[in-house]
Structure 1
Amino acid sequence: MKMLLISACLLVLTLGCRKTPDLDELSTKPLVGTAQDKATNFSSYKTYFVSDTVAYLSDTSEDTILVGATALKLVTAFKDNMASRGYTFVQKNQKPNLGVRLGVVKDLNVGVYYPGYWDGYYWYWPPYYWGYPNWGYYYPFSVAYAYTTGTVISSMIDLKNPVITDNKKELKVLWNSVIAGALGDNPDANVQAGVDGINQAFSQSPYIKTN
């Protein structure tokens, strides 16, 4: 897992040409963690689908999706980054190579994120949504993230090469990102931090590209 590093601060610490940065200001920046299946050749995938809604995980609300301007900005940020890496957005019924899921944590009182499950909440839309009824999810990597309220989660799922082993049918998860506390208590007010975090997640994942 990689943590978000602010290049300007690195220059300050390395070159010593400016005063030490304000640590209080640095602590307000969200941390960005990414994890990948190192065996994956991301250039073998060309198309993807991402919903225009965002999963909303909360223990104080019955809402399960986030819609409107906030969701659109997060989804657009992801689409822009995928386009810049050469991927083409297609509709779900056009058999995309990759499925992408975005989510926001709100008021869930757990300290660690394990891929796939979250305190009883099923993180992904059921596999039948991707056209694979009765399938599960397979993680070729293990990862745990601490997070705070307002964390933005994204995952990339392989829809091109479903896995069948020992009579188990699973979709392989290729990549995860966790942007800890980016949106804080008010997603609508702090959405730019979430957008910046998505951009950073791609910045520290240069292997996500079509060529």
Structure 2
Amino acid sequence: MRTGALAAALLLAACYPGGAETVEDLDSVTTQHDPAASFATLRTYAFPDSIQEVSAPEGEPLPMDHSYDARILSRVASNLEAIGLRRVDPSVESPDVNVLVTFAATRYTEYTSYPFYDLWPGWAGFGGYDGTWGVYYPWVTGTTYATVIDAGSLRIDMLDQRTANPLMKQLTAIWAASVDGVLAGDKESIVQRIEKGIDQAFAQSPYL
């Protein structure tokens, strides 16, 4: 899920001057596809009724609120239909592609330490003690600050059912989209950002 890079980017943008001004500025949409895939021949797709939870390889997993599953899946479905695909029941008709939607919510913590500076060298000294004297602080350890970022990643994977390998139990992905961002703000605003990201994923994939 590119979690390491995602976490680093979010933390850097959130913590430093000149970075993002709103959480929406931290949102990103990434799409990749198989250049050899013939998307023009696709006609049908199968779709889950819920979003599957997955865990990122780094960070602390967070629980997902599934109350918005239907709304998010509906947004994905409307985009699939807009590119000419028809949803089918896989128990009745074998689809050309299976579309899998997953979500990972993760808490990342970045620790930054600031040492306690002493007065050596360069201090001016005072009565009887010149600047060659140092000052010893045996009880000082410095200060450490923790920055916590809750991030979410919605993945949409298009799996080619026509090239399924029953022997290897393997499906080949021909398109993948990742909608990433910070889980901040009220639930409605988060869902709206996810919907915007879904639309963008299809908009930046004109080959579909």
TM-score by length of 1: 0.59
- 1:40 aligned onto 2:63: no
The 2-side partners of 1:82 and 1:27 are apart by: 24
Q: 1:80 aligned to 68, 78, 81, which one? A: 78
Contact 2:159 2:172 in 1 (8 A): yes
- 1:196 aligned onto 2:170: no
Q: How big is each residue's C-alpha offset from its partner over 1:136-165, in whole Å with a ceiling of 9 and x where there is no partner? A: xxxxxxxxxxx961211110001112247x
For residues 24-63 of structure 1, the aligned pairs below 5 Å read 24-25=21-22, 28-58=25-55, 60=61
Structure 1 stretches (4+) deviating beyond 6 angstroms? none
The 2-side partners of 1:196 and 1:182 are apart by: 14
CA apart distance, 1:201 = 0.3
- Return the letter of the residue paired with 1:83: E
For residues 124-203 of structure 1, the aligned pairs below 5 Å read 149-163=151-165, 168-181=168-181, 183-184=183-184, 189-203=189-203
SS state of the match for residue 53, structure 1? coil
Contact 2:97 2:162 in 1 (8 A): yes
The 2-side partners of 1:60 and 1:92 are apart by: 32
TM-score by length of 2: 0.60
In 2 relative to 1, CA 47–32 (structure 1 residues): closer, same or farther, beyond 3 Å? same
Q: Percent identity?
A: 23
Structure 1's unaligned 5+ residue stretches are 1-21, 111-146
In 2 relative to 1, CA 26–190 (structure 1 residues): closer, same or farther, beyond 3 Å? closer
- 1:97 aligned onto 2:110: no
The 1-side partners of 2:165 and 2:85 are apart by: 23
In 2 relative to 1, CA 148–183 (structure 1 residues): closer, same or farther, beyond 3 Å? closer
Contact 1:54 1:102 in 2 (8 A): yes
The 2-side partners of 1:182 and 1:198 are apart by: 15
SS state of the match for residue 77, structure 1? helix
Report the structure number with the largest CA radius of gyration.
Answer: 2
Contact 1:182 1:193 in 2 (8 A): no
Q: How big is each residue's C-alpha offset from its partner over 1:87-126, in whole Å with a ceiling of 9 and x where there is no partner? A: 001112121111011112112669xxxxxxxxxxxxxxxx
CA apart distance, 1:183 = 4.7
In 2 relative to 1, CA 36–181 (structure 1 residues): closer, same or farther, beyond 3 Å? same
The 2-side partners of 1:183 and 1:89 are apart by: 30
In 2 relative to 1, CA 186–174 (structure 1 residues): closer, same or farther, beyond 3 Å? farther
